[in-house]
Amino acid sequence: MGARSLDSVSVGDVLGPVSVPVGRDTLVAYANASGDQNPIHQDEEFARSVGLPDVIAHGMWTMGAAATVLADWAGDAGRVVEYGTRFTKPVVVPSSGAEIQVEGKVTSVDAETGRVGVELTVTSEGQKVLGRCVAVVRLG
């Protein structure tokens, strides 16, 4: 996707929805890359022993997957100048895999600074998994 321009964006514009799959292989690869080898992300028996329904995705994987959708929308990851969220629910990843859905809405456009505010909604199985997920993207 090419770079999005400031003059092509208005308050209320919608991003997505975009579905991002996550499988057990994704969790293993993320654990190896991040160094987070907590067994709740890979060992079903262990995850259940601590009260989880199944293994869960790393919160930072979920945050990063949503940020990737935003960066794709903006046209370049370097355009995302602020990004923050709260983790509200884990993404449960059964052996058959799961997915997150990422949607966004443009909440502000500042022509003077070239910055656009975006509020993301990130869900899995109809449940919000990230809350207060907001970003600022430089488009100008």
**Domain that includes residue 97, residue range:** 6-138
pLDDT at 140 over 80: no
Residue 1 domain-assigned?
A: no
User: CA torsion, points 13, 77, 3, 123, in degrees to nearest 10?
Assistant: -30
- Summarised one tens digit per residue, pLDDT across range 43-67 is 999 999 999 999 999 999 999 999 9
- Summarised one tens digit per residue, pLDDT across range 77-129 is 999 999 999 999 999 999 999 999 999 999 999 999 999 999 999 999 999 99
Q: Is the pTM of this model over 0.75?
A: yes
Residue 79 domain-assigned?
A: yes
- Residue 12 pLDDT grade (very low, low, confident, very high; cuts 50, 70, 90): very high
Instruction: List alpha helices for 1-140, DSSP H.
Output: 24-34, 44-49, 59-74
Q: Which CATH number does the domain housing residue 31 bear? A: 3.10.129.10
Residue 78 domain-assigned?
A: yes
Residue 80 domain-assigned?
A: yes
Rounded CA gap, 41 and 11, in Å? 38
Q: 76, 52, 115: which is closest to 68 by C-alpha?
A: 76
| Other residues' Cβ atoms within 10 Å of the Cβ of residue 15 | 21
Specify the number of domains making up the chain: 1
